Amino acid sequence: MTAGVSSMTERRKFGPVSQRLLDDLRAIVGVDRVSTSDTDRVIYSVDSFWLPQMWHDRGVRTPTPDVIVHPGSTEEIAAILTLANRDRVPVVPWGGGSGTQGGALPIHGGILLDVKRLNRILAIDETSLTLRAQAGVNGGQLEWALNERGLTLPHYPASANGATLGGYLAPRGSGTISTKYGKAEDLVMSLEVVLANGTILRTPDVPNHASGPDFMRLFLGSEGTLGVITEATMRIARLPETRLFRALLFKDVATGLEAGRRLMVQRLDPLVIRMYDPHSTASLVKKVLGYELDGAYMILGFDGWADIASRQETRALAICAELGARDLGREPGERWWNHRYDFYYPPFGFHLPAMYGTVETVATFSGIERIYHAKKAAIEGTFGSIGVQYIGHFSHWFPWGASLYDRFVLQDVPRDPGEAQALHDRIWDVAVRTSLAHGGMINEHHGVGLKLHRFMRAQYGAAWPLLQSLKRALDPNGIMNPGKVGFEVDDL
C-alpha cells in the first residue's frame, strides 16, 4: 500500500453510513452537531500532510468523510463508537487537524469524530503539579490558562496554536523544550480512552507503579487506531524564574553533535539544544532570523532558578569552547526563542507548490551522525539531479541520543499529481529505509499516520504480529481509523 489517494478509496469491509445511523447520531449529539454538508466534508478531508494538500491544490478532491460529528462528552463518544461498531462504519478522530502524517484523513469515509468540543480543563492540582483536561482542548488556549496561574504544560510544539491535547499524545509528539521536560508521552500521568465497542477505560492515576503492564502506553502512538483519547492527566510545571538562551556556531555538524552529546551525558539538563546543519543555517536561519553565518548554528537554553541555570550555562559554554565553538552571545539565542514559531508561518514554512517532507528520525549518539550523512548522501545522490535539497537540524536530545529533524524540499514538482505523488513516495522510501538501515527509527515525533503506514512492518519485524493481535482484540471490526499506523484493513 502506498500513501496514495487512489488506493485509499476502496471500501472493502465497511458498511455504509445509513439514514438510520445518521438519525441515531443526531439523537446522541443533537441535530446541528451532525453534518453531511459538502463544504464540511471537503474541509475535513485535508490535514497538514503534503499529499492531500497537493491533490487539492491541483483541483482534485481526496476521500471525504460521510458525516462529521461533534460530540461534547466522553459518554457521547462511547455511544457513537457503539453505533459505528454495530454498523461497521469507520471512525476517524480529529483534533486540530494539524498533524503532518495524514493520521486524521478519512481515507475510508465513515464518521469523522471532531473532538474539539471536549475542551474543558477539569482540574489543576497545584500541590502535585498536575492538570486534567479533556482531549479536545486547544494547546494555545490551554497554555494561556495555565500561564495565568504561573504554570505551564512544558510541551511546546510548533503546532500548539492549532493542535489539541489529544493530538499531542496520540502521535507521541515532541515540543521545543522536550530535551529537559520530555516528550508529551513523558508528561502524561493517565488517560481516559473509549474503545471501539464503547467501553470507557481509565488508566491508573499514576504512571509509575509495578502493578502489571502499563497498558496506558498502548494508546500513546496509536493515533486513534486502538481507541479515542478523551481525557488526560498531565504533569505541569511552574514557570521558571529565568530562561537563558545563547547562540553558538560550530564549524560542522560533527563537532556540534559532540558538544550536545557531552552536555547530555554530563547531565547539564539543558532546556534546548537545537543545532542547524550548515545548509539550514545558510537558508532558514538567514531567512527567518536574518543571520548570515557559515557553519552549524546552535541554540542553547537553560531554565529554572537563575543561579543554577547560570551555572549550567557556564559549564555548557566551556564544553562548547573546548570544541572550538564561537559564542555568538545572548541576543541571537533570545531572538530565536522569541521567533521560534515564525519558521512555521507563511511564507517562511515550506509550502505549495513545492514538495517537502520531514523525514525525521532518532538514534543513539553512536549512530546519529552516520544517519545524517547517509540520508543526505542518499537523498541528494538519488534525487539531487532533479533539484531535491536536504536540510536538517537536531532538536530533541536525550541522555542517550538525539533526533534528527531532517527535511527534503523540491521546488520544481511534476505537474501531474499522480507523478508528483509517485516521486514523493520514492523520496520517502529512500529516506526512511536509509534511517532504518543505519539504526534509526522511522520517525521521532510526528507519528505514523498514513504517511509512514507502509514502513511499520519493516520497523518492527517479528514483533509486528503482536501489535496486530492487540489491534484485533481491541477493534475486531477494524473501524478505528482504518488504514493507519500499519494496520491494514485486509489483516482483520
Is residue 159 a contact point for another protein (CB under 8 A)?
A: yes
Is residue 149 a contact point for another protein (CB under 8 A)?
A: no
Contact 96, 167 (CB under 8 A): yes
Q: Which range in 58-66, 225-233, 375-383, 469-477 contacts another protein by CB under 8 A?
A: 58-66
Is residue 418 a contact point for another protein (CB under 8 A)?
A: no
Closer CB to another protein, residue 131 or residue 404? 131
Is residue 197 a contact point for another protein (CB under 8 A)?
A: no
Lay out the site mask for another protein across 213-252 (x = CB under 8 A, - = otherwise): --------------------------xxxxx---------
Is residue 57 a contact point for another protein (CB under 8 A)?
A: yes
Closer CB to another protein, residue 146 or residue 298? 146
C-alpha cell at 180: 529537559
Is residue 114 a contact point for another protein (CB under 8 A)?
A: yes
Tell me which residues in 24-43 interact with another protein (CB under 8 A): 35, 37-40, 42-43
Is residue 119 a contact point for another protein (CB under 8 A)?
A: yes
Sign (positive/negative) of CA torsion 488, 231, 198, 15? negative
Query: In the complex, what is the shortest distance from the CB of residue 138 to another protein, in angstroms, rounded to a whole number?
Result: 5
Q: Which range in 8-16, 109-117, 211-219, 251-259 contacts another protein by CB under 8 A?
A: 109-117
- Contact with another protein (CB under 8 A): which of 6, 127, 148, 318? 148
Is residue 56 a contact point for another protein (CB under 8 A)?
A: yes
Is residue 163 a contact point for another protein (CB under 8 A)?
A: yes
Is residue 335 a contact point for another protein (CB under 8 A)?
A: yes
Q: Mark residue 224 as left, alpha or beta (left: phi above 0; alpha: psi -120 to 50; beta: remaining).
A: left
Query: In the complex, what is the shortest distance from the CB of residue 113 to another protein, in angstroms, rounded to a whole number?
Result: 12
Size of the site for another protein (CB under 8 A): 70
Closer CB to another protein, residue 396 or residue 471? 396
Q: How far apart are CA 182 and CA 177, in angstroms?
A: 8
Is residue 88 a contact point for another protein (CB under 8 A)?
A: no
Tell me which residues in 357-396 interact with another protein (CB under 8 A): none
Is residue 44 a contact point for another protein (CB under 8 A)?
A: yes
Query: What is the 3 state secondary structure string of the chain?
Result: CCCCCHHHCCCCCCCCCCHHHHHHHHHHHCHHHEECCHHHHHHCCCCCCHHHHHHHHCCCCCCCCCEEECCCCHHHHHHHHHHHHHHCCCEEEECCCCCCCCCCCCCCCCEEEECCCCCCEEEEECCCCEEEEECCCEHHHHHHHHHCCCEECCCCCCCCCCCEHHHHHCCCCCCCCHHHHCCHHHHEEEEEEECCCCCEEECCCCCCCCCCCCCHHHHCCCCCCCCEEEEEEEECEECCCEEEEEEEEECCHHHHHHHHHHHHHCCCCCCEEEEECHHHHHHHHHHHHCCCCCCEEEEEEEEECHHHHHHHHHHHHHHHHHCCCEEEEHHHHHHHHHCCCHHHCCCCCCCCCCEEEECCEEEEHHHHHHHHHHHHHHHHHHHHHHCCEEEEEEEEECCCEEEEEEEEEECCCCCCHHHHHHHHHHHHHHHHHHHHHCCCCCCCCCCCCCCCHHHHHHHHHHHHHHHHHHHHHHCCCCCECCCCCCCCHHHC
- Contact with another protein (CB under 8 A): which of 8, 24, 25, 48? 48
Query: Which among 486, 491, 492 is positioned nearest to 3, based on CA atoms?
Result: 486
- Contact with another protein (CB under 8 A): which of 82, 98, 203, 230? 98
Q: Which range in 79-87, 133-141, 369-377, 430-438 contacts another protein by CB under 8 A?
A: 133-141
Is residue 281 a contact point for another protein (CB under 8 A)?
A: no
Is residue 94 a contact point for another protein (CB under 8 A)?
A: yes
Lay out the site mask for another protein across 339-358 (x = CB under 8 A, - = otherwise): xxxx-xxxxxx-xx------
Q: Which range in 79-87, 91-99, 266-274, 427-435 contacts another protein by CB under 8 A?
A: 91-99
Q: Which range in 59-67, 360-368, 376-384, 390-398 contacts another protein by CB under 8 A?
A: 59-67
Is residue 144 a contact point for another protein (CB under 8 A)?
A: yes
Q: How far apart are CA 264 and CA 401, in angstroms?
A: 8
Residues in touch with another protein (CB under 8 A): 35, 37-40, 42-44, 46, 48, 53, 56-61, 70, 94, 96-98, 114, 116-117, 119, 136, 138-141, 143-148, 152-154, 156, 159-163, 239-243, 288, 330-331, 334-335, 337-342, 344-349, 351-352
